Amino acid sequence: MQIVLFLLLVLAVLSIFVSKKDSLSNSVKIYILVSFALVFLVGWLFTYYNQKVALANRDILNAFEQGKTLSCQNYKVNSDDFVYVSGTLSFVAKDSKKDLKGVVIDISTCSK
């Protein structure tokens, strides 16, 4: 994603500087460049944040799969009582645990 954004920014810069002098004034060129730079920056920050969250979720999931107990909201989540559902990134209580029946915990609320 970052590579695509960078290439789009380079393409925009090149197209602005190659355009005829009469078609775009210097202030319009600067405005366009700043706009593209801001879009690039927002895209880069979004990607960086998503990678950071994905890495944290992967660490939590690895701990869960290694048999460690996680602290999630008011629950202690372990592989004996819960299963991990990858489609919703959550832990769901096993049917055999009657006192936890219907409990669904989002992975973002957990810590090791």
| Per-residue pLDDT at 50 | 93
| Per-residue pLDDT at 71 | 93
Per residue of the chain (112 residues), give pLDDT as tens. Answer: 667 777 877 887 777 777 666 677 778 778 878 887 888 888 889 989 999 999 999 999 999 999 999 999 889 999 889 999 999 999 999 988 788 888 999 999 998 8
Q: CA–CA separation, 74 vs 66, rounded Å?
A: 21
Report DSSP state, residue 21: T
pTM of the model: 0.67
DSSP 46-105: HHHHHHHHHHHHHHHHHHHHTTPPEEETTEEE-TTTEEEETTTTEEEE-TT-GGGTT-EE
| Per-residue pLDDT at 89 | 92
- Residue reference for tokens 């801001």: 38
Q: Is 89:52 a contact under the CB 8 Å cutoff?
A: no
